[in-house]
Structure 1
């Protein structure tokens, strides 16, 4: 794209929309850096309202490209790869079906369905429930498959992984690292799937590249905040965060 084409593309998005999007992705990055999840659940509803669902997913995917490098050290050092890798493989297998849903079915219906799932998840977590399921390869793959399908269709693949890990006997650092590792393993396949189905285009990637510095700055700030919070504080913040996001997405 030449300079004129870039200028024309950005003007098409609208200045106020770009400013609002920058604030949104900065907050999404802050939450992502602190908790390891939540970026999509914050950014996708508003970005979808501003630019449409497919543009929102393409923007978030483009922003994640440098973010994956920024978070690589965390996942490599702290993740439990014996659990994260099978979940990611399940997610990769289910991803194409989810992406087909994205380009074929009304996005508003999908987003509202995910909002209901998020709110139900918060209710279960806030109740104090902790599952006692033993770790099994088939269970890890199944959870990852559900997450991969949701990731491809709405960009909101976090809830199944969040429920599986946050309600179990895992330390916050391990939860954050495993969620990060899950998305890192499957990220290349997400990009490939979105390119194949026409979701990821040069114009949409340009918007994502413009938003990436705000997103990465937020991730950096969130990582600093994480080490200041106790386990109880971490869980409470996660519950409040998901409640607000779920309700906002459902009624937004």
Structure 2
């Protein structure tokens, strides 16, 4: 219970203050204490609550045209991802998440840049959708794309939260429809609500007072540690 509280508090703080981090931080550590499908669904349930709460405060900052393209692109990815969720082995899942996080982090540290296009918006949404239904982690492809394209932190935070609200809800419906759910997932999610909202409140304060450079450094450290740990424990 203490581990769950700490995971949710840190993950929601990062998500609220930077626009990403809940799934990247939350899912790998939840996989250490819960069965894979339970961990993924806890992450999704809490992410829906976080996005729904935040979107009313930041909805005016959303890039609507970008949001629509991401959602359209995600539809095919959501469908493909449900098959990965149902049939892929947990060790393979951990290996994929760990390798993905490490590659992503290295690319961002070395300041990979790219131009934004409509097709890349659709592709990013598709890959993100696939990762949402399969492992509950939509953030890495969006973080890589948005960081590489140089999108400002306000637009990044608001647009990703709006996108998460759609893609997580669709993913949860598909997972329950095809793979069912468990009482443990919902009870644990309910117990994690207090640290979730505490992290949201702290994150909003930090968004105003802490520089984005500081958050990037903290995030890099956590991402690298998480990626290495998952790769090591997948063998």
Could you say whether these structures have the same fold, taking a TM-score greater than 0.5 normalized by the shorter chain as the test? yes
2:87 to 104, 122, 125: 104
- Per-residue deviation, 1:201: 3.2
Query: Which 4+ stretches in 1 moved above 6 angstroms?
Result: none
**TM-score, scaled to structure 2:** 0.91
> Are the counterparts in 2 of residues 91 and 146 from structure 1 also a CA contact under 8 Å?
yes
CA pair 134-57 structure 1, distance change in 2 beyond 3 A? closer
1:43 maps to which residue? Answer: 26
Cα deviation for residue 101 of structure 1 reads 1.0
Aligned to 1:83: 66
Aligned to 1:120: 103
* Larger Rg computed on CA atoms: 1
Offset at residue 225 of structure 1 (A) = 0.4
Aligned length, in residue pairs: 233
Partner Cα separation in structure 1 for residue 2 and residue 140 of structure 2: 28
- 1:61 corresponds, among 44, 58, 75, to 44
What TM-score comes out, normalization by structure 1 length? 0.85
Distance in 2 (alpha carbons) for counterparts of 1:238 and 1:47? 18
Is 2:202 aligned against 1:221?
yes
Indicate whether 1:135 and 2:117 are aligned.
yes
Taking a change above 3 Å as real, the CA distance of residues 190 and 102 of structure 1, as seen in their structure-2 partners, is same
Structure 1 residues 232 and 22, CA, compared in 2 at 3 Å: closer, same or farther?
A: closer
3-state SS of 2:209 partner: coil
Residue 140 of structure 2, aligned match among 159, 180, 192: 159
Does 66-75 or 106-115 show the bigger shift? 66-75
Aligned partner of 2:176 in structure 1 is 195
Q: How far off is 1:73 after superposition?
A: 2.2
